[in-house]
Homo-oligomer: A and B are copies of this chain.
Amino acid sequence: MPAFDVITLGEPLLRMTPAHLRRIEQALSWDMHVAGSELNTAVGLARLGLRVGYLSRLTDNSLGRHIRATLAGHGVVTDHIVWTNEDRVGIFYMEQGAAPRASQVIYDRAGSAVSNMRPDDLPRDLFVPYAARLFHTTGISLAVSPLLYETTRAAIQRAKEAGWRVSFDINYRSKLWSYEQAAVGCQPLLELADVLFTPYRDAIRLWALGDATPEQVLGELHARYPQAVCALTVGADGALAVDPAGQTWQQPAFSAQVVDRIGGGDAFSAGFLYALLARGDTNAGEWLRWGTAAAALKYTIMGDLPLFTQAEVAALVETGEKRAGGDVVR
């Protein structure tokens, strides 16, 4: 049995959100959450029951230790994190929106420890056959810094060489790079992906698909990356998937009362990959359903982390959304 089901690599962040619903500008009290796209997915996978390891580089101070403790608390193996006395722990400030006022995010991640993570920092003994079944990362790790781009590419290549599957979420961030840069930067890695996640709205822009429908975008993804299972999320319209054989599936979103929208995509990846790796489900339709259910539950949870249990996601997958939020089991 491999030591790990999944290894993820990415940038951990601390998120600061004003207490008492105040705006950032007037806030004196703040609530902190641990975050980071690949970290969120790692936590989700571990909480669903998989053995997950997290690769990153972290500053060795109380903030870095807070992040490590949170990961370990959710069962993610943190032994391969590289510690440094330099650099900093990236943070972001997040103000909850209310329509028509959008949520506001101020990223403050430049110079984070992982932005200086070098290919040499990758654990040498880990990338061997059977050490893990799948490697997961996202486009954020490519965009954070040229050095982390190199490190992430090296990790993907070594994972492939070790015979692991590779999962890649494009996870476009306009504050880190342009669509043009992202398209070029992601391309070589997308060609190596066995599983590929992307939101519809980013796919349209990345591949300049104009007003293509989700179904058309899915077709385009399959044409470009025929080796991969591709999952396309379409917000409130749910998600679609296509497998290497060209078979397609569609899954409506589970309706959810949104408490905190951030981290929904990462929870989707966690649910999808869990079903793919661990449920013995044989088709992407089931994987989509787990991803969509995981995302819906995440929306109801404060903070970025998908703090659900396997039982909660499974119940939603099986029974759909018959349950009202106000319901109480007693």
CB-based contact A261/B326 at 8 Å: yes
Shortest Cβ distance from A148 into chain B, in angstroms?
17
**C-beta contact mask, A300-330 vs B, less than 8 Å → 1, else 0?**
1111010110001000100001011111111
Q: 8 smallest A-B Cβ distances: which pairs?
A: A69-B73, A99-B325, A24-B62, A98-B300, A261-B326, A98-B257, A73-B73, A98-B325
Complex Cα distance, B297 from A100, in Å, reads 7
Residues of B within 8 A of A175 (CB): 330
CB-based contact A104/B62 at 8 Å: yes
Q: Which residues of A contact B (CB under 8 A)?
A: 16, 19-33, 61-63, 65-66, 68-70, 72-75, 88-89, 91, 93, 95, 97-108, 110-111, 173-175, 254-259, 261-262, 296-297, 299-303, 305, 307-308, 312, 316, 321, 323-330
Q: A20-B302, A72-B72 are in contact. List 16 more A-B contacts (CB 8 A).
A: A16-B30, A22-B302, A25-B66, A30-B31, A62-B95, A72-B73, A72-B75, A73-B73, A91-B108, A99-B300, A100-B255, A100-B296, A100-B323, A102-B329, A175-B330, A262-B328
Determine which of B25, B257, B300 lies in contact with A307 in the assembled complex, contact meaning CB atoms within 8 Å.
B25
CB-based contact B74/A69 at 8 Å: yes
CB-based contact B102/A25 at 8 Å: no
Residues of B within 8 A of A91 (CB): 91, 108
Determine which of B23, B65, B103, B327 lies in contact with A325 in the assembled complex, contact meaning CB atoms within 8 Å.
B103
CB-based contact A29/B26 at 8 Å: no
CB-based contact B29/A32 at 8 Å: yes
Complex Cα distance, B19 from A15, in Å, reads 16
Q: For A111, A258, A312, A327, which residue has the most chain B Cβ atoms within 10 angstroms? A: A327
Residues of B within 8 A of A300 (CB): 97-101
Shortest Cβ distance from A165 into chain B, in angstroms?
27
Instruction: Assess A26 versus B66: contact at CB under 8 Å? Given A100-B297, A106-B61.
Output: yes
Instruction: Assess A259 versus B108: contact at CB under 8 Å? Given A27-B32, A101-B312, A323-B102.
Output: no
Complex Cα distance, B174 from A297, in Å, reads 25
CB-based contact A327/B62 at 8 Å: no
Determine which of B33, B70, B88, B107 lies in contact with A330 in the assembled complex, contact meaning CB atoms within 8 Å.
B107
Determine which of B65, B254, B328 lies in contact with A25 in the assembled complex, contact meaning CB atoms within 8 Å.
B65
Shortest Cβ distance from A92 into chain B, in angstroms?
8
Residues of B within 8 A of A330 (CB): 105, 107, 173-175
Residues of B within 8 A of A255 (CB): 99-100
Residues of B within 8 A of A16 (CB): 16, 30
Across the two chains, which residue of chain B brings its CB closest to A108?
B88
Shortest Cβ distance from A120 into chain B, in angstroms?
23
Shortest Cβ distance from A281 into chain B, in angstroms?
21
Residues of B within 8 A of A174 (CB): 329-330
Complex Cα distance, B27 from A33, in Å, reads 10
Residues of B within 8 A of A93 (CB): 62-63
CB-based contact A88/B110 at 8 Å: yes
17 cross-chain CB contacts under 8 A? A19-B20, A23-B307, A25-B307, A26-B28, A26-B303, A62-B93, A89-B108, A97-B300, A98-B325, A99-B323, A99-B324, A100-B321, A104-B328, A104-B329, A174-B330, A258-B326, A261-B326
